[in-house]
Amino acid sequence: MNIKMSYRNDEIKELYKSAGIQTEDSAGFDLITAEDISFSKIGEFKLVDLGVIIKVPKDHHSLLMPRSSTFKKHQVLQANSVGLIDEDYCGAKDFWKMPLVYFGEGTKIIPKGTRLCQLVLQKTTKITEVEDFVPTDDSRGGFGSTGV
């Protein structure tokens, strides 16, 4: 499936070309940092610029999530866990960003061009109607009740 990308500038475009952002069997499409990022204390928050505006196909949305190695390598977590990006977030100033919180010790510098996160493209199923209903089945016991 094709997506369209607009880059902040030619330098960012070249970084994306050289980053090795997707292999043939990958479900996710890696995104990179468009700037050097510096953290100096636990709990520090940064909104990290990814340097791109992405236009996904009609009736699709993107999920933005960390790569599996992001915390191990950089001691950062995505503050909103997973970002849902609708297909219409692709205006002239809609550059994608990743909200990060630092959980390491000391200063951490993540260089520009680092693959920190990935997008997964999904078909959107729109909710077109909401119907009332009255629950009649037995309760499962509340939140987190499926295990022993």
38 lies in some domain: yes
**pLDDT in tens for each of the 148 residues of the chain?**
889 999 999 999 999 988 766 667 788 899 999 999 999 999 999 999 999 999 999 999 999 999 999 999 999 999 999 999 999 999 999 999 999 999 999 999 999 999 999 999 999 999 999 999 998 887 777 776 665 5
CATH of the domain at 107: 2.70.40.10
Q: How big is the chain, counted in residues?
A: 148
131 lies in some domain: no
133 lies in some domain: no
- How many domains is the chain built from? 1
Enumerate the H helices of the chain as residue ranges.
Answer: 10-18, 70-74
Q: Which of 10, 49, 59, 86 is catalytic?
A: 86
Range of the domain at 10: 4-123
Q: 86 an active-site residue?
A: yes
Of the candidates 93, 90, 105, 94, which has an alpha carbon nearest to the alpha carbon of residue 44? Answer: 105
